[in-house]
Amino acid sequence: MRLLLDTHAFLWWLAGDERLPHRARTAVQESTNVVFISAASAWEVATKVRIGKLPEALQLAQDISSHIASQGFKELAVTIEHGQRAGLLPGSHKDPFDRMLIAQAQSENMVLVSNEEIFDQYGVVRLWT
């Protein structure tokens, strides 16, 4: 299975945070699954560090590629198709990071690991509880 971690899922994975459910943690640990972190998550972490909403992630924001690699995860670049798809998604959900993750999960046929129930409205397969 190809998993795309939402930004909070990635942060909670790195921190060993209990808010990441057992089912999600098990899927990430499963050696047959390939886990991806989107460039949109790097953008989100860096943005939130810069504006003071995520000060504890300064080190992560400065070298997210190393953190991704240290976990055995893969980076997922943003493509033109992803951008088009994200921009054209219907509905009123305005978070640009979420819209990009939805578009990437759709386009790349990935399971999105996220607690965001609104993602279900976009037809992505979401793994959480």
- Report residue 129's pLDDT band, with 50, 70 and 90 as the boundaries: confident
What global pTM score does this model have? 0.96
Instruction: Take residue 103 and report the two structure tokens written for it.
Output: 């578009």
Q: Output the pLDDT for position 64.
A: 97
Domain extents in the chain? 2-127
Q: Are 38 and 100 in contact (CB under 8 A)?
A: yes
Q: Which residues pair with 56 in a beta bridge?
A: none
Beta bridge partners, 75, equal 37
**What's the CA gap between 63 and 59, in Å, rounded?**
7
CA 3 to chain centre: 9
2-127: CATH class: alpha beta
Q: What share of the chain is helix, strand, coil (3-state, %, to 5)?
A: 55, 15, 30
- What pLDDT does 105 receive? 98
Q: How far apart are the first and last CA of the chain?
A: 17
Per-residue pLDDT at 86 exceeds 90 = yes
Structure confidence at residue 92 as a pLDDT band (50, 70, 90): confident
Q: What is the model's pLDDT at position 71?
A: 97
pLDDT in tens, 61-71: 999 999 999 99
